[in-house]
Amino acid sequence: MNRATDAELAAALITWRRELHRHPETGWTEFWTTAFAADVLHSLGYAPRVGREILNPDQRMGLPAPAVLERARQRAVQEGADPRWLERMGPATGIVADLHPGREPDLVLRFDLDALEMPEADDAGHLPAREGFASRHPGLCHACGHDGHTALGLGLAALLRRDATRLARNVRLLFQPAEEGVRGASALIQQVLGARRFLAVHLGLSAPESGSLVTGLSGFLATTKFDARFTGRAAHAGLAPEAGRDALQGAAEALLALHALPDQTDQSGQEGQAKQKGRINVGLLAGGSARNIVPDQAVMACETRCVDREADNALLAGARAALRRIARERELGLEITIQGRAGCANSDAELAQLLARTALELPPGPDGQPLFAAGKICSEGRMTASEDAATLMEAVRLGGGQAAYALLGADLAGGHHTPHFDFDESVLWPGALWLAAVCGRLCG
């Protein structure tokens, strides 16, 4: 593969993407995906480190049950994953591949691995179904482009090996598990410490046109995902309701209490108006077992969204206090579990502008047309959502480095997180060429 022509590499990216698309795995279960990508990286001359070799196990969030992890490992074996990689991974997933092992990373690029827990469309209008590379796993699919991100990282790895002797500084490729639900980045912070620059790339989103590029996305919201589980005492709802302790009623009261928490605000808005800095949402409340039983269990799935860590910490502290007060007053048990957490981040303008200039200076494609047209390249963009990469961006910037989050534009057949999601695969090769040029510019 190191001697492959550009045409062969461009075709390989699509082949890799389609193979990854067939084998979707959700966060922390990406055993087959990790083994597949590690195989490719090893064949290119890298020495990949995987799973437990690269992360802090105590910082993982939203872990599936041990039985779920074991079933995923066994499925990976059945689908041909190399047992040697699985042995090295242990109970964890993800990959780090250094262009120059033994050196501190100068530039880290993050590519996410995980899929979504949702069914994929199976009609003839859906390209993966029509071309035979739809999900093999019922109820799971790649509906956010992470299969494309992983293939993009592998394509970049192949291009970097061509120029390894020309690049004096180390480029680190980080293939991250469990991005969905912002569960994985905190366990990988050590892999970006000391890096001078960090870059993450996402297909589509607010760049849904092939040939477009947004090189500096900002506005990512800090977020904490948490579950609150109330435990009460069951009783007959007619004969002895007074003997019970109603966990569902406690959770219902807690829902109202959380929504009554004061929004995190400041006074920096125009004309002195308060500017909202954060809010909380309860997305799920469930409990009880039957209409004639006082509910002894109830669970709430909650999240915060805030413009900075300070507001997020304050809102989370207020939520904890409200939940504990209600549990105490109603004599209920309470367990609060953090399922995911990410920081806030903005792209550094200087780095974003360099990324845009690099795209403009790329040689034209075989058809003589620019890979990215000047009118379709933007160095600034806003994303008022949350992303696990923000935690890594935050860590790099706190260490004095620069970070950016880019969007690789792609025509989309369906929206993100929908059964018909698909993207224009032809953007992968220009994306890999652009990233390789960025590496050459920053680490040459």
Q: Which residue has the tokens 């899929």?
A: 115
End-to-end CA distance of the chain: 22
Between the CA atoms of 309, 57, 85 and 110, what dihedral angle is there, to the nearest 10 degrees? 10
* Residue among 94, 41, 172 nearest 435 (CA): 172
Q: How many CB atoms lie within 10 A of CB 402?
A: 21
* Residue among 18, 35, 111 nearest 73 (CA): 35
Spatial distance between the Cα atoms of 355 and 370, rounded to a whole number of angstroms: 16
Spatial distance between the Cα atoms of 225 and 341, rounded to a whole number of angstroms: 6
Q: Are 62 and 178 in contact (CB under 8 A)?
A: yes
Q: Please give the backbone phi and psi of residue 365, each rounded to the nearest 5 degrees, phi first.
A: -75, 180
* Residue among 166, 209, 160, 165 nearest 433 (CA): 160
Query: Domain map of the chain by residue range?
Result: 6-220+343-443, 222-342
Residue 175 parent element (H or E) = strand 170-176
Q: What is the pLDDT along the chain (444 residues), one digit of tens a residue?
A: 667 899 999 999 999 999 999 999 999 999 999 999 999 999 999 999 999 999 999 999 999 999 999 999 999 999 999 999 999 999 999 999 999 999 999 999 999 999 999 999 999 999 999 999 999 999 999 999 999 999 999 999 999 999 888 899 999 999 999 999 999 999 999 999 999 999 999 999 999 999 999 999 999 999 999 999 999 999 999 999 999 999 999 999 999 999 998 765 554 544 444 457 899 999 999 999 999 999 999 999 999 999 999 999 999 999 999 999 999 999 999 999 999 999 999 999 999 999 999 999 999 998 899 999 889 999 999 988 899 999 999 999 999 999 999 999 999 999 999 999 999 999 999 999 999 999 999 998
Which two structure tokens, joined as six digits, stand for 391? Answer: 């935690």
Between the CA atoms of 375, 377, 383 and 389, what dihedral angle is there, to the nearest 10 degrees? 170
The DSSP code for 363 is P
Amino acid at 264: Q
The DSSP code for 188 is G
Q: Are 70 and 146 in contact (CB under 8 A)?
A: no
* Residue among 437, 387, 65, 15 nearest 201 (CA): 387
Spatial distance between the Cα atoms of 128 and 352, rounded to a whole number of angstroms: 33
* Residue among 87, 93, 90 nearest 37 (CA): 93
Spatial distance between the Cα atoms of 222 and 342, rounded to a whole number of angstroms: 6
Class of domain 6-220+343-443: alpha beta
Sequence-distant (≥ 6) Cβ neighbours of residue 417 within 8 angstroms: 116, 118, 143, 144
Q: Please give the backbone phi and psi of residue 26, each rounded to the nearest 5 degrees, phi first.
A: -80, 175
Q: Strand pairing partners for 437? A: none
Burial of 444 (0-12, 13-18, 19+ CB in 10 A): exposed
Helix (H, G, I), strand (E, B) or coil at 236: strand
Integer angstrom CA distances of residue 60 from 39, 82, 164, 339: 25, 24, 33, 9
Amino acid at 233: R
Domain covering 222-342, topology = Alpha-Beta Plaits (3.30.70)
